[in-house]
Amino acid sequence: MINHALLLAYYYPPDTEAGALRPSHFARYLPQFGITPTVITASEAPQLPPEAVAVPNRTRRPVRTQPLGFTEMALRKFLFPHDEGMLWSFFAFPTAARQLRPSSVVLSSFPPINTHLIAYRLKRRFGVPWIADFRDPLVEAPTRLVPNQTYRYGRWSEAIDRLLEARIFAHADLLIANTDQVLARWQQRYPHYAPKLRLLWNGFDSADPITPLPIPARPYRELVHVGGIFVSRHPNALLESCHRLIVNGRLDPQRLRVRLIGVLEPQAIHNRALFDDLTARGFLEATGQPVPRQEARRALCEADLLLLLDVLDFGGGQQLPSKVFEYAQIGRPILTFTVPGSPLETILEGSGLPHVTLYPNAPPERVDEAVLRFLALPSDPVPASDWLMKTFDARHRVETLARWIHELPPAARSRR
């Protein structure tokens, strides 16, 4: 029986990248189901958890005048513009191979693609069972579609993604999607691999809860969004609606403040004059700079209202903003912009939380009425439904993963 998981996770705590959270849930709870994890990571943190083995990425900051640096830059310019640490897969492979046991399964967490490349080599060489976990899809991912349409070599990158996806799907023993929409696309594209396609949502860890804090005394309510704002995930419909409501005298700009906390791409703002006007009024606060995790979390917990932005263009409706699980634990009203039938819409409908959902192409008057209806909601926290709290809890999800692992046969051949 398999009782050891070699987890390939480029990002891993104490790194604060969003991609570190899912593999950390795996590593925390797999031992409760008889599976010991060993994590291979590129984390540069001075102190790592005991299960983690660090393999430094020697080209994390590539230098053009050095052979390795030049190679890394060339790979990422022409073939892998979306992925960090392409050469890291070569650095990490020997360390990963040494950690294998006869009872091992390899579990690779993507993105970036380097983890799947290591797992592919381990599978081919040692016959070890392999689970390819996708935190984002590889082909048709929103984060890859947009650059592929604008980069000079985007067609090359897209072709490479399709080639790699086909190889991964052919050789992995299980392939895990993190939303039902991604799984459905896989089932249409690869019906012959249907028995090994699985769904395992992202979620939260009840051992590390986030709870609402008392709202500070202030003369206005705060509507807060935490996280990056990009070309395909933006607040333009909200800002345009608020501007109309202010101009028409239906919204007092002194009674509400919209705070956008985190990185903001300039291209994401469609109307810079409107953006600047709302900022000058003191209605909008958006520095565009990242803030420490604890500061951002506190702003969420003290907010009157919560804003949740989904990907609206270029492959929208596939993925689920992980921020929804923090919002769900806080329990205050959520205003979300998403596309019809998205995973986000489905989860909010079953969440039991006060929320208003808007679509990007809704008529302006409908958006305005929905925004006013949302702003009238009380800020008292409401507990999320039992369904949400159980389905998306880390331990429950890892229990499912462990069951899949125990059903796999051990390595087809020993190390050599």
| Residue 285 bridge partners (DSSP) | 259
CATH fold of 221-389: Rossmann fold (3.40.50)
The span from the CA of 142 to the CA of 280, in Å, is 33
The domain spans of the chain are 4-203+392-407, 221-389
User: Residue 380's Cα: distance from chain center in Å?
Assistant: 28
334: closest CA among 389, 285, 382, 387?
Answer: 382
274: closest CA among 230, 301, 237, 314?
Answer: 237
Cα dihedral 142, 147, 150, 156 sign: negative
344: closest CA among 135, 178, 211?
Answer: 178
The span from the CA of 353 to the CA of 330, in Å, is 10
304: closest CA among 385, 382, 211, 381?
Answer: 381
Average pLDDT, consecutive stretches of 10 residues, N- to C-terminus, the chain (416 residues): 96 87 97 98 90 91 85 86 90 97 96 96 96 93 73 79 96 97 95 97 93 96 93 90 96 96 90 94 91 90 96 78 94 95 94 94 94 97 96 97 94 55
CA 179-346-377 angle, 5° bins:
135
To which CATH superfamily is domain 4-203+392-407 assigned? Glycogen Phosphorylase B; (3.40.50.2000)
188-199 per-residue burial string, b: 16 or more CB within 10 A, e: under 16: eebeeeeeebbe
Token pair 């939303």 is found at 179
Specify whether the CB–CB gap between 121 and 168 falls below 8 A: no
316: closest CA among 187, 141, 155, 179?
Answer: 141
250-259 per-residue burial string, b: 16 or more CB within 10 A, e: under 16: ebebeebbbb
Q: What is the DSSP letter of 217?
A: P
List, for residues 207-221, the tens digit of each pLDDT value.
999 999 999 999 999
Specify whether the CB–CB gap between 299 and 285 falls below 8 A: no
* The pLDDT of residue 416: 41
Q: Phi/psi of residue 305, each to 5°? A: -140, 155
Specify whether the CB–CB gap between 269 and 238 falls below 8 A: no
Strands 130-134 and 174-177: parallel
Same fold, 4-203+392-407 and 221-389: yes
Q: What is the DSSP letter of 410?
A: -
